[in-house]
Amino acid sequence: MTGNLQFDAQGRLRHFLTIDGLSRETILEIFTIAESFISVGEREIKKVPLARGKTVVNLFFESSTRTRTTFEIAAKRLSADVINLNVGASSAAKGETLLDTVRNLEAMHTDLFVVRHNQAGAAYLIAAHVPPHVHIINAGDGAHAHPTQAVLDAFTIRRHKGGFENLKVAIVGDILYSRVARSLIRVLDILGVPEVRVIAPRTLLPTAVETLGVRSYTDMGEGLDDADVIVMLRLQRERMRGALIPSEQEYFNLYGLTPGKLECAKPDAIVMHPGPMNRGLEIDSAVADGPQSVILPQVTNGIAVRMAIMALVLGGREPAEGGRPA
């Protein structure tokens, strides 16, 4: 049901809630549209008129800087009107329900909600109760999913590696609580990556993690051996119940990505991080700022990918020659 909820009766993408239910063709279509938007950010006037007259509300019930800002920039580059709702100062903080908050904003002729919430399923709940002309994009729900981050990460991998057919991708860190890891594993599977590895202490690996189609490692050196792509994850300490690592220093010693550990991977391996980074905890500054890091290009790519997803759910496509809508 959740996968079908994303599509309308004609099979067009109506909401963007999860990677589940997406076809390889849909993901590649997003990539194609995103490629056309990359150049928009390099222009003097960084706008196309695909969402002119539309209203986009960033409805963030969980703190975020990078994700909210890139969604805001993406919507404005599509020429949409954008509202950032400060939930801490909103009626929700006074006891208003999630759906009542959404319905009041709907009454202001909102076309698209970008929703981030600390409870899994929040975006689905909203999507199930909005009228047909309103669209929902999931910007992260609890420890469940972060589909736009997964797609932008896969887009970044393709831009640097050319394809997915022969790659070994290692995802390192807090696999247990990471919504990014869950969504990324799924999208890499759909795109045909032959080997995805997860590397973490046993306390941060989900039970039966291999059922996700990955190889699990508790030794950093073994897990990084011959890897083409390394995705480092932040420790989700706000979601942890109890101490799952002995100490931050010991965690960095065993699982922090240092220049020495990076040598276990292929010489041309790329290093990624969805952010925010904790330098000296999961990644060394020499690696984060080094020549193999594509962490800042991830952020740039995130704007183009989120533009593409917004354009798709709103019924638009990539800009044609001169920036007019195709």
- Per residue in 282-317, pLDDT (tens digit) is 999 999 999 999 999 999 999 999 999 999 999 865
Is 94 among the residues known to form the active site? Answer: yes
Average pLDDT, the chain: 90
Cross-strand bridge partners of residue 231: 171, 272
Residues 230 and 265 in one domain: yes
Q: Which of 14, 117, 135, 146 is catalytic?
A: 146
46 is annotated as contributing to ligand binding: no
Look up the domain containing 312 and give its range.
4-145+300-323
Report pTM: 0.91
pLDDT at 279 over 50: yes
Q: Which residue is catalytic, options 46, 66, 160, 239?
A: 66
CATH code for the domain of 116:
3.40.50.1370
Judgement on whether residues 282 and 151 belong to the same structural domain of the protein: yes
Question: 308 and 274 in one domain?
Answer: no
Q: Of 232-236, 257-261, 315-319, which range is least confident?
A: 315-319
Are residues 126 and 47 part of one domain?
yes
What is the mean pLDDT of the segment spanning 191-203? 96
For residue 147, say whether it is annotated as part of any ligand binding site. no
Q: Are residues 89 and 174 in the same domain?
A: no
Is 317 annotated as belonging to a binding site? no
**Active-site residue, selected from the candidate residues 18, 26, 67, 110:** 67
CB burial readout 220-239, b (16+ within 10 A) else e: beebbeebbbbbbbbbbeee
What is the mean predicted confidence (pLDDT) over 234-245? 58
Identity of the highest mean pLDDT range in 16-25, 233-242, 309-318: 16-25
Per the structure, the count of domains in the chain is 2
Sign of the dihedral defined by the CA atoms of residues 194, 151, 257, 198, in that order:
negative
- At residue 241, does pLDDT exceed 50? no
* Sheet with 55-60, side-by-side order of all strands: 81-86, 55-60, 112-117, 135-141
- Confirm whether residue 66 is marked as ligand binding: yes
Torsion angle of C-alpha atoms 269, 181, 156, 48, degrees rounded to 10 = -170
- Is 179 annotated to bind a ligand? Reply is yes
- Give yes or no for a cis peptide into 325 (omega within 30° of 0): no
Q: Is the pLDDT of residue 21 over 60?
A: yes
**Residues 99 and 168 placed together within one structural domain of the fold:** no
Examine the residue annotation and report whether 146 is marked as an active-site residue of this protein: yes
Q: CA 45 → CA 52, 76, 182, 229, 323, distances in Å?
A: 15, 11, 37, 34, 10
d(CA 86, CA 194): 42
pLDDT digits (tens, 9 = 90+) for 64-107: 888 999 999 999 999 999 999 877 556 565 567 889 989 999 99
Catalytic residue check, 67: yes
- Tell which wins on pLDDT, 268 or 91: 268
User: Looking at the structure, do residues 151 and 291 belong to the same domain, yes or no?
Assistant: yes
Whether 116 is catalytic? yes
* 155 shares its domain with 287: yes
110 lies in the same domain as 202: no
114 and 246 fall within a common domain: no
51 vs 246, residue with greater confidence: 51
202 is in an annotated binding site: no
My answer on whether 34 and 141 are in the same domain is yes
pLDDT band at 160, cuts 50/70/90? very high
pLDDT at 318 over 80: no
For the stretch 103-159, pLDDT in tens is: 999 999 999 999 999 888 999 999 999 999 999 999 999 888 999 999 999 999 999
Token pair for residue 87?
A: 């939930």
Q: Are residues 268 and 136 in the same domain?
A: no
